[in-house]
């Protein structure tokens, strides 16, 4: 192998080693949407055909049947021979999964895991890992093409090619997605191939052969058959067409030259249309929607109102983090220093381009070189705009930017190299490459795997706390429990550990509930989970072993104080919605925790900011139980956050979930005697509301909901980005 290619061979080999490791150690289907991507592959492998109107809403692939089919057809072609009789044992959803919540206690797993998806893989687990290896190979192609893209767009900068490839190949997020069943891997490969061809066309010293334009059209067509984002490749292709045509004109716009450019455009577009057009025509004829967005939104409903600019800016840091290192179902984060590293490298790259523009102006002003940089910037800008538009409709995430990731890493590498003295460029590039590879190798063990802990087993039964034993009819036995504290205040955490054993094999995945109940029978805090914080479902339990099952409760601001909370626990079948019976009842009492009042704090002390105008800092209810026809008095304490020219109205609702309002009271604070336009910043205002239930109000646990709105426009002040009312507490209607 020639001396110029050995760095690429080293980078590809290192990528393959890491990606195969990720694919083997990351629990199956614990990447975003991976289970549904695989379900569509399994659907096609079984010969059920492409998504049809009658499949929408009932097929197991959720929204993924709306996706262009090329990746799924490839997956089906290499897995059709693998039997899938064990699908029910492998594909088990965690109904308590903390999707998108990195702060949640446990349940980071979207799926339930057990022997069926453990090594040695068989059946569905084997087929899914085969499709993961397909993704790994597609990722390797992206690594090679990123090298070529950097060599084409930054000629004469070999250190930049090394660094651009390393920034991509050793990005933990790229490795994570490349090791998962996901069509992003194919569209990223084809988008990068398109950029490479476009860059080559812009650099070609002679008129390209016609077959090159046809091949470019074929690649774009395949990209459009891989994901809708492939359609956006029309932007860099048109840019290359215009660039090549412009470069052929020396004294003006010659008709013959532009006619040749038009022929190239027709050839490229025609081939792309032949390759991919059938798919969009089929969708139009079958669904009346060539893009199948209606099918997509049937599985993932869009936001009711588009996100505002402020919301998009608030989402941007999360999209940036998930471009580099957010795992699981958006609920497993890396350490903050890793995000700071990528942000710092990006900032340095921007500085480098600024320095380079001044110091190497001659190189950068060469028309072809400038066109190459513009090509990368254009494609990156198109993808950022597309993700921003998607964020207005649905949930945005960094992997949606992956088709532009090679362009981004090439631009970052160029800026970093420009900032480095020439004699140190190779040393610094390889030093940073080794650092990134080391971080990538450690990532699964530092952050990913700890989110999916091993079964929490107790070796010695003599270590169990003395407690009453409860035998559940289905087989589980609650041997005992411990509470982390006997006294607490609002906001404190109570850790509850249950000790289980089963007397026979369990045929269902039962859920555990732990409730903190006040003297009126109202559940003030609860935690529902599969055992082991989701890590050890009951179907995986072995007879006789003891399972330590930890739960976490947080005492809410609305909990009555001073007063005791009873801690209860039990089991239920989430599918049937039915609790399991035991010889101590459906809910076993574990003990009590006394909630203490803080003498120096307001009742129900809290801090809820309404639109940066005013904040709710406390509340009090005059009773916790009432009957139909009776009145509940709610006292609120407010504080001015900023000077207010507007007079706002406070509403208090008494609602029965999910949204039935049975009583409400709207007024300006103190019935208009303390209008918000008169408040001083930091001033504390006490405000009382009385809600009377109608005689026909049904019994149940009602919520107290509070909000603020403009008296003239009725526009509500948001809390965060939501204008929904804030739930403060619950009361019981008997």
On whether the CB atoms of residues 184 and 410 are closer than 8 A, the answer is no
- Among 401, 422, 448, residue at a domain's last position: 448
Judge if 240 and 309 occupy the same domain: yes
Judge if 505 and 623 occupy the same domain: no
> How many Cβ atoms are within 10 Å of 718's Cβ, its own excluded?
18
Judge if 363 and 381 occupy the same domain: yes
The reported pTM is: 0.91
CATH number at residue 515: 2.60.40.10
Judge if 440 and 480 occupy the same domain: no
Return the pLDDT at 572. 96
On whether the CB atoms of residues 174 and 402 are closer than 8 A, the answer is yes
Residue 250 has pLDDT above 90, yes or no: no
pLDDT in tens, 338-383: 999 999 999 999 999 988 776 654 555 567 788 899 999 999 999 9
d(CA 165, CA 161): 6
- How many domains is the chain built from? 3
| Residue 477 backbone dihedrals phi, psi, to 5 degrees | -125, 125
- Among 448, 480, 495, residue at a domain's last position: 448
| Residue 142 backbone dihedrals phi, psi, to 5 degrees | -65, -40
Q: In this predicted structure, which of 462-476, 536-550, 620-634 has the lowest mean pLDDT?
A: 462-476
Q: Evaluate whether residue 583 is within a structural domain.
A: yes
Judge if 306 and 158 occupy the same domain: yes
d(CA 57, CA 63): 8
Q: Evaluate whether residue 114 is within a structural domain.
A: yes
Judge if 642 and 546 occupy the same domain: no
Judge if 585 and 636 occupy the same domain: no
Judge if 403 and 493 occupy the same domain: no
Judge if 666 and 692 occupy the same domain: yes
Q: Give strand ranges (E) for 54-103.
A: none
Q: Evaluate whether residue 711 is within a structural domain.
A: yes
Q: Evaluate whether residue 600 is within a structural domain.
A: no
Of 310, 328, 306, 326, the closest CA to residue 318 belongs to 326
pLDDT in tens, 486-513: 999 989 999 999 999 998 999 999 999 9
pLDDT in tens, 322-337: 999 999 999 999 999 9
On whether the CB atoms of residues 264 and 225 are closer than 8 A, the answer is no
591 Ramachandran zone, left/alpha/beta (phi>0; psi -120 to 50): left
CATH number at residue 717: 2.60.40.1930
**355 prior amide bond cis, ω within 30:** no
Judge if 127 and 160 occupy the same domain: yes
Residue 1 has pLDDT above 60, yes or no: no
- Among 448, 483, 505, residue at a domain's last position: 448
**224 is in which domain, residue-wise?**
6-448
SS3 262: helix
Percent of the chain with pLDDT over 90: 75
Judge if 215 and 364 occupy the same domain: yes
Q: Evaluate whether residue 601 is within a structural domain.
A: no
The pair of structure tokens assigned to 407 is: 């362009």
The pair of structure tokens assigned to 149 is: 């893209």
d(CA 22, CA 440): 10
Judge if 371 and 392 occupy the same domain: yes
pLDDT band at 252 (very low <50, low <70, confident <90, very high): very low
Q: Evaluate whether residue 602 is within a structural domain.
A: no
pLDDT in tens, 659-708: 889 999 999 999 999 999 999 999 999 999 999 999 999 999 899 999 99
SS3 705: strand
395 Ramachandran zone, left/alpha/beta (phi>0; psi -120 to 50): beta
Q: Evaluate whether residue 564 is within a structural domain.
A: yes
């Amino acid at each position: 192998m020639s001396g110029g290619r050995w760095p690429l061979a080293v980078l590809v080999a290192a990528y393959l080693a890491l990606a195969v490791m990720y694919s083997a150690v990351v629990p199956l289907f614990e990447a975003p949407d991976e289970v549904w991507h695989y379900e569509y592959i399994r659907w096609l492998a079984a010969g059920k055909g492409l998504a049809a109107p009658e499949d929408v809403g009932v097929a197991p692939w959720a929204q993924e049947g709306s996706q262009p089919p090329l990746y799924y057809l490839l997956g089906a072609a290499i897995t059709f021979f693998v039997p899938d009789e064990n699908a029910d044992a492998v594909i088990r959803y965690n109904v308590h999964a903390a999707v998108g919540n990195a702060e949640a206690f446990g349940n980071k797993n979207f799926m339930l895991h057990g022997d069926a998806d453990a090594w040695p893989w068989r059946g569905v687990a084997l087929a899914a890992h085969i499709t993961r290896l397909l993704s790994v190979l597609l990722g390797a192609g992206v690594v090679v093409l990123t090298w070529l893209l950097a060599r084409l767009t930054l000629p004469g900068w070999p250190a930049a090619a090394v660094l651009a490839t390393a920034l991509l190949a050793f990005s933990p997020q790229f490795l994570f997605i490349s090791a998962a069943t996901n069509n992003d891997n194919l569209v990223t490969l084809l988008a990068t191939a398109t950029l490479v061809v476009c860059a080559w066309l812009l650099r070609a010293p002679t008129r390209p052969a016609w077959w090159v334009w046809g091949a470019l059209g074929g690649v774009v067509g395949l990209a459009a058959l891989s994901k809708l984002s492939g359609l956006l490749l029309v932007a860099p292709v048109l840019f290359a067409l215009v660039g090549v045509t412009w470069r052929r004109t020396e004294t003006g716009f010659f008709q013959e030259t532009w006619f040749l450019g038009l022929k190239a455009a027709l050839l490229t577009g025609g081939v792309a249309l032949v390759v991919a057009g059938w798919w969009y025509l089929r969708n139009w004829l079958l669904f009346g929607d060539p893009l199948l967005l209606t099918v997509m939104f049937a599985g993932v409903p869009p936001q009711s109102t588009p996100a505002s600019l402020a919301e998009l800016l608030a989402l941007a840091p999360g999209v940036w983090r998930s471009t580099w290192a957010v795992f699981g179902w958006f609920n497993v984060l890396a350490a903050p220093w890793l995000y700071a590293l990528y942000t710092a490298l990006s900032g340095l790259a921007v500085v480098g381009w600024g320095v380079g523009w001044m110091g190497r102006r001659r190189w950068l002003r060469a028309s072809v070189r400038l066109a190459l940089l513009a090509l990368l910037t254009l494609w990156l800008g198109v993808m950022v705009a597309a993700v921003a538009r998607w964020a207005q409709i649905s949930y945005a995430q960094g992997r949606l930017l992956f088709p532009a990731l090679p362009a981004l890493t090439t631009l970052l590498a160029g800026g970093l190299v420009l900032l480095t003295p020439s004699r140190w460029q190779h040393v610094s590039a390889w030093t940073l490459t080794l650092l990134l590879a080391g971080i990538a190798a450690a990532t699964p063990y530092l952050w990913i795997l700890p989110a999916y802990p091993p079964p929490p087993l107790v070796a010695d039964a003599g270590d169990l706390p003395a407690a009453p034993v409860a035998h559940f009819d289905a087989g589980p036995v609650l041997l005992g429990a411990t509470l982390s504290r006997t006294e607490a205040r609002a906001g404190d955490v109570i850790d509850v550990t249950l000790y289980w054993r089963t007397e026979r094999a369990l045929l269902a995945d039962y859920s555990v509930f732990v409730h903190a109940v006040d003297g009126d029978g109202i559940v003030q805090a609860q935690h529902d989970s599969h055992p082991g914080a989701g890590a050890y479902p009951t179907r995986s339990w072995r007879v006789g072993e003891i399972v330590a099952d930890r739960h976490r409760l947080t005492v809410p601001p609305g909990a009555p104080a001073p007063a005791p909370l009873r801690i209860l626990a039990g089991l239920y079948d989430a599918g049937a919605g039915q609790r399991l019976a035991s010889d101590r009842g459906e809910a076993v009492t574990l003990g009590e925790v006394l909630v203490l009042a803080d003498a120096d704090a307001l009742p129900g002390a809290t801090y809820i900011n309404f639109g940066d105008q005013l904040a709710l800092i406390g509340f009090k209810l005059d009773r916790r139980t009432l009957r139909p026809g009776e009145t509940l008095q709610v006292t609120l304490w407010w504080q001015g956050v900023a000077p207010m020219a507007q007079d706002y109205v406070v509403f208090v609702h008494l609602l029965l979930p999910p949204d039935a309002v049975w009583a409400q009271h709207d007024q300006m604070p103190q019935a208009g005697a303390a209008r918000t336009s008169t408040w001083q910043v930091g001033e504390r205002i006490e405000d009382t509301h009385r809600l009377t239930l109608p005689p026909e109000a049904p019994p149940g646990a009602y919520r107290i909901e509070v909000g603020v709105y403009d008296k003239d426009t009725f526009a509500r002040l948001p809390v965060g980005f939501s204008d929904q009312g804030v739930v403060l507490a619950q009361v019981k209607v008997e």
